C-alpha cells in the first residue's frame, strides 16, 4: 500500500498528485557517478518527504562484486555528500537503506540472478512485479542491456507494468538515436520509454508553462507582432576537467544544445496544448521544433558560431584552456561554446529570431530566457528624454537566482521628463518559502507514476538531431579549428559579430 503524497504547495494545481504504485527500481550503473551523485540522493530525499510508495525497493546493478551491506555503505557516503538536505537524517536513512539491494551482472551473465532476486523481493516487500528500469551506464551499453532484459523476460511479467528511463545522451546523431529507439522498441512500447532531460524537471523550467498558460496577460503579446527576438542562454563557469574523455567526443552541441537548450526553446515557442498531459504537451513541442527553418551546410556560417575556451580567469582565479587539458588530443576541434540563430517558420514567430547560446568557462553560471519586445510604434518622447530607456524585456531566470523580471521604462522623479528602465522582479525563493525539489526528484517520481509529460518522446529527440546534425557535419568537415575565447569571457568575438550583424546585442545575464 502506498502512503499519502504530501501536497506540495509549489506544485499544487500543476499536476494531479497521484500516488506512485508499489515498484522495484532497477538501476543499471548502480555504483556509477550518476547513481551516487543524483539518483540515490534524489530517492533518499523523496523518502524523507514520504513521497515513495511503502512497497518500494532499489536494486543496484553493476559489474563489481558487492554485498547489499557494501552497497548500502557506499551509498550512505554518496547520499550524505549529495542530498539536498544535509546532514542526512540517520533514521530516515536506515529505513531507506533496508530497501537497497545489489546484484552483479556482467555482460549477459547475472540476469537470471536479477530475475530471481526481484521475484523474491516482490514476495517479501509487496512490490507487485512493477518495474522501473533505469539506464545509468555509459550509453554504449544501453542496447545490449535492453536486449538482455527482453531475452531473460525481465521486462514484462503478466499484469504488472514495466518502464525504462534512459539517460542522455540519446544517440550522437539522428541515425544512432533512431537505432537506439529501435533497440528499445524490441522490448518496450514507446509509452514505456522515459528519455530523461533533467532540465525539464527544474521547477523554473516547468514554470514556463505556468507563466504562459495560467496567466492571461502574456499570451496575447507572445508572438511576432510584439516580440523582436528571444535570447536563451545556458552559461557555465565550470570547465570540463573530470569528464574530458566523454566531452571531447560530445562537445557543447551534443552535451547541452541538442537537449537542454532546445527543450527551453520548445517550451517558449510552442503553441498552447489542448490538455496538460504527456502527449498533448509533447505534440506541441514537436511542432515547434519542426517549424525551425532547417540549416543547410551552406548557411551554417550565418546561423551558427562555435568556440573553444583558452586559458583565462574565472572569478579572479587563473584556469587552463581546453587544449591544455592532459586528455584532450592536440588536434581536437571540439567546441565548448555554441551560438545559434533559429527562425521559426510558423504563424506565431515568422521573422522573430531566437538566439541560443551555451558555453563552458563563461564568466558565470546563469541560465535565462529573455523575451525582448519591440519598441513602441510611435515615439512620443525625444531621444534625449529616453536616453536611459531600453526595450521592454521579460527575463525568465532559470538558475541560479530563480525568478522573473520585467523591464520597463519609468519616469525619473525629477523636474521634466527623463526616462529610465526599471525592473519588476519576482524572486522564487522570496515568494515561496520552500526549497524547490531537485530535478531528479521530480522526474523519478513522475516516472514511478507513469507521467511522461516531462520526458522526451522519440519524435522530439529526432527533431532535435535533425536540427543539429547538418551543423555538426559542417563543423566536422571544416579544416579550421573553432575560434578561441578566453576563459571568463562571453565567448569568441565571432559570436558578438554574429548577433550584431542583425543590429542586436547579447544580454549580459
Ligand atoms: C549536463 C551536461 O547534462 O548538464 C553538463 O552533461 C552540464 O555538461 C549540465 O554542465 C548542466 O546542468 P545544470 O543542471 O547544472 O544546469
- For every residue of 204-227, which 3-state class applies, written as one string? HHHHHHHHHHCCCCCHHHCCCCCE
* CA atoms within 13 Å, Cβ hemisphere of 385: 12
Q: Is the CB of 253 under 6 A from ligand 1?
A: no
Contact 350, 202 (CB under 8 A): no
**Quick one: which atom of ligand 1 is closest to the CA of 168?**
3
Long-range contacts of 416-422 (CB under 8 A, 24+ apart): 417/381, 417/385, 418/385, 418/387, 418/388, 419/381, 419/385, 419/386, 419/387, 419/388, 419/389, 420/388, 420/389, 421/388, 421/389, 421/390
Q: Where are the beta strands (DSSP E) in 183-283?
A: 193-195, 227-235
169 upstream amide cis, omega within 30 of 0: yes
All three cell numbers of 113, joined, read 540472478
pLDDT of residue 434: 81
pLDDT at 147: 95
Residue 284 CA to residue 197 CA, distance in Å, equals 17
Q: Is 122 in the pocket of ligand 1 (CB under 6 A)?
A: no
Atom of ligand 1 minimally distant from the CA of 243? 8
| pLDDT for the residue 14 | 39
496 Cα to the center of ligand 1, angstroms: 24
Give the CA diameter of the chain: 83
pLDDT at residue number 368: 98
CB 103 within 8 A of CB 114: yes
| Residue 277 CA, ligand 1 centroid: distance in Å | 26
- Any ligand 1 atom below 6 A from CB of 167: no
Q: Could you say which residues of the chain have pLDDT below 50?
A: 1-16
Q: Ligand 1 within 6 A of 255 CB?
A: yes
Of 124, 117, 194, the closest CA to residue 162 belongs to: 194
Q: How far is the CA of 169 from the centre of ligand 1 (A)?
A: 12
> Which H or E element spans position 505?
none
* Residue 23 near residue 133, CB atoms below 8 Å: no
Centre a 10 Å sphere on the Cβ of residue 285 and count the other Cβ atoms it contains: 24
Question: In 10 A of CB 400, how many CB atoms?
Answer: 9
The residue from 76, 229, 260, 358 that is catalytic is 260
Residue with grid cell 551558427, as numbered in its chain: 304
Query: Around 262, how many Cα atoms within 13 Å sit in the side-chain half-sphere?
Result: 30
Any atom of ligand 1 within 6 Å of the Cβ of 236: yes
- C-alpha to C-alpha distance for 397 and 208, rounded to whole angstroms: 10
**Single pTM value for the model:** 0.94
Q: d(Cα 324, Cα 485) in Å, to the nearest integer?
A: 14
> Which residue from 236, 243, 400 has its CB within 8 A of the most atoms of ligand 1, so it is best to mutate?
236
Residue labelled with grid coordinates 507582432: 225
C-alpha of residue 255 to centroid of ligand 1, in Å:
8
**In the annotation, is 152 catalytic?**
no
Ligand 1 mean position, distance from CA 256 (Å):
7
Euclidean distance between CA atoms 122 and 24, whole angstroms: 8
Ligand 1 within 6 A of CB of 196: no
Nearest CA to ligand 1 atom 9: 256
Query: Grid coordinates representing 477?
Result: 568537415
Amino acid at each position: 500500500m502506498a502512503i499519502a503524497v504530501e501536497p506540495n504547495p509549489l506544485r499544487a494545481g500543476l499536476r494531479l498528485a497521484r500516488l506512485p504504485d508499489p515498484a522495484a527500481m532497477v538501476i543499471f550503473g548502480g555504483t556509477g557517478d550518476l547513481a551516487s551523485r543524483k539518483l540515490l540522493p534524489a530517492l533518499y530525499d523523496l523518502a524523507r518527504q514520504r513521497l515513495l510508495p511503502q512497497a518500494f525497493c532499489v536494486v543496484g546493478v553493476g559489474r563489481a562484486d558487492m554485498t547489499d551491506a557494501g552497497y548500502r555503505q557506499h551509498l550512505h557516503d554518496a547520499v550524505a555528500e549529495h542530498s539536498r538536505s544535509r546532514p542526512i537524517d540517520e533514521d530516515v536513512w536506515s529505513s531507506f537503506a533496508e530497501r537497497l539491494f545489489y546484484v552483479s551482472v556482467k555482460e549477459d551473465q547475472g540476469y537470471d540472478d536479477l530475475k530471481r532476486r526481484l521475484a523474491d523481493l516482490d514476495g517479501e516487500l509487496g512490490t507487485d512485479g512493477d518495474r522501473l528500469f533505469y539506464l545509468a551506464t555509459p550509453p554504449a551499453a544501453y542496447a545490449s542491456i535492453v536486449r538482455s532484459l527482453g531475452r531473460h523476460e525481465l521486462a514484462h511479467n503478466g499484469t504488472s507494468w514495466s518502464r525504462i528511463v534512459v539517460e542522455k545522451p540519446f544517440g550522437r546523431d539522428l541515425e544512432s538515436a533512431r537505432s537506439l529507439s529501435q533497440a528499445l522498441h524490441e522490448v518496450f512500447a514507446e509509452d514505456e520509454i522515459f528519455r530523461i532531460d533533467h532540465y525539464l524537471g527544474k521547477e523554473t523550467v516547468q514554470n514556463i508553462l505556468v507563466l504562459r498558460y495560467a496567466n492571461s496577460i502574456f499570451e496575447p503579446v507572445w508572438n511576432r507582432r510584439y516580440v523582436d527576438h528571444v535570447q536563451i542562454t545556458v552559461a557555465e563557469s565550470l570547465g570540463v576537467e573530470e569528464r574530458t574523455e566523454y566531452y571531447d567526443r560530445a562537445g557543447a552541441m551534443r552535451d547541452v544544445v541538442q537537449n537542454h537548450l532546445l527543450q527551453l526553446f520548445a517550451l517558449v515557442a510552442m503553441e498552447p496544448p489542448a490538455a496538460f498531459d504527456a502527449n498533448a504537451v509533447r505534440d506541441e513541442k514537436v511542432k515547434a521544433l519542426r517549424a525551425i527553418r532547417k540549416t543547410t551546410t551552406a548557411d551554417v556560417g550565418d546561423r551558427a558560431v562555435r568556440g573553444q575556451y583558452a586559458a583565462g580567469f574565472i572569478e579572479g582565479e587563473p584556469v587552463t584552456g581546453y587544449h591544455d587539458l592532459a586528455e584532450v588530443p592536440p588536434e581536437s576541434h571540439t567546441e565548448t561554446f555554441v551560438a545559434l540563430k533559429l527562425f521559426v517558420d510558423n504563424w506565431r514567430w515568422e521573422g522573430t529570431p531566437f538566439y541560443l547560446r551555451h558555453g563552458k568557462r563563461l564568466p558565470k553560471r546563469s541560465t535565462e530566457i529573455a523575451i525582448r519586445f519591440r519598441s513602441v510604434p510611435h515615439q512620443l518622447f525625444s531621444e534625449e528624454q529616453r536616453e536611459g530607456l531600453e526595450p521592454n524585456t521579460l527575463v525568465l531566470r532559470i538558475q541560479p537566482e530563480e525568478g522573473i523580471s520585467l523591464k520597463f521604462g519609468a519616469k525619473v522623479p525629477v523636474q521634466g521628463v527623463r526616462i529610465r528602465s526599471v525592473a519588476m522582479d519576482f524572486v522564487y525563493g522570496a515568494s515561496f518559502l520552500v526549497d524547490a525539489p531537485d530535478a531528479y526528484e521530480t522526474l523519478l517520481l513522475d516516472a514511478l507514476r507513469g507521467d511522461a509529460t516531462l520526458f522526451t518522446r522519440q519524435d522530439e529527440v529526432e527533431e532535435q538531431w535533425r536540427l543539429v546534425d547538418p551543423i555538426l557535419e559542417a563543423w566536422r568537415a571544416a579544416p579550421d579549428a573553432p575560434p578561441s575565447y578566453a576563459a571568463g569571457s562571453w565567448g569568441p568575438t565571432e559570436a558578438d559579430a554574429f548577433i550584431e550583424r542583425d543590429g542586436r546585442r547579447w544580454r549580459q545575464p
